Chain A
């Protein structure tokens, strides 16, 4: 089955700096890669996703890149703000066929 590895487990950045979180997956059939954000005491919520037919997707200050050959994908947050502090989870699945398999999460702290 699918296995998703996520690094780093914790990340601290200064406000205004960029943050990068990386994930690798094992199943070459996986074609859907979402990222979820979980604020303290809240439920996880989808912030961005990418399908394997594109290499990059952006939404304002966040972007996701995908390298299918290497089987890894990354979340990029630019101009970080204190409200970006949260736990971020990557996940992988086969679109429409299999449930999401999540990475273990990255706790991002943005220091003002």
Chain B
């Protein structure tokens, strides 16, 4: 089945380290998103991309960067991780004509 996958699924790192979270999809969707989930704060949008050449900041982009390497791949980087970036990170995809977003399984990131 077509799916959205994320690697790694869990990561523990130290303050100041550079971290990359990767997202791949076999759904053939043009649109991809990165969200952060914190308890009580819901799903907050970090960055989104409507096609390979398009990158847009979301609500909480500070401290993050992204790269859209291909239609199927969208990576999120933390250049210098800090403890308050400890969270569950979700990648999602959607088709332009259908607003439903399909989420990946999530990456749990802990910054010590």
A interface list, Cβ under 8 A from B: 1, 6, 9, 32, 34, 43-46, 49, 89, 93, 95-96, 99-105
Contacts and interface: CB of A to CB of B under 8 A. Distances in A.
Contacts, number: 46
Between A6, A9, A45, A104, the greatest number of chain B beta carbons within 10 A of the residue's beta carbon is seen for: A104
B42 A104 contact: yes
B23 to A, nearest CB: 12
Interface residues of B, number: 21
A46 to B, nearest CB: 5
Contacts of B100: 34, 46, 49
Interface string B19-43: 0000000000000010100001111
Interface of B: 33, 35, 40-45, 48, 58-59, 90, 96-97, 99-101, 103-106
14 contacts: A34-B100, A43-B103, A43-B104, A43-B106, A45-B103, A46-B101, A99-B48, A100-B45, A101-B59, A102-B42, A102-B44, A104-B40, A105-B42, A105-B43
B99 A95 contact: yes
Contacts of A49: 99-100
B24 to A, nearest CB: 15
A99 B96 CA distance: 11
Contacts of A96: 96-97, 99
A96 B50 CA distance: 10
Contacts of A43: 90, 103-106
A6 B42 CA distance: 10
B106 A32 contact: no
B74 to A, nearest CB: 13
Given A99-B48, A99-B58, A89 B43 contact: yes
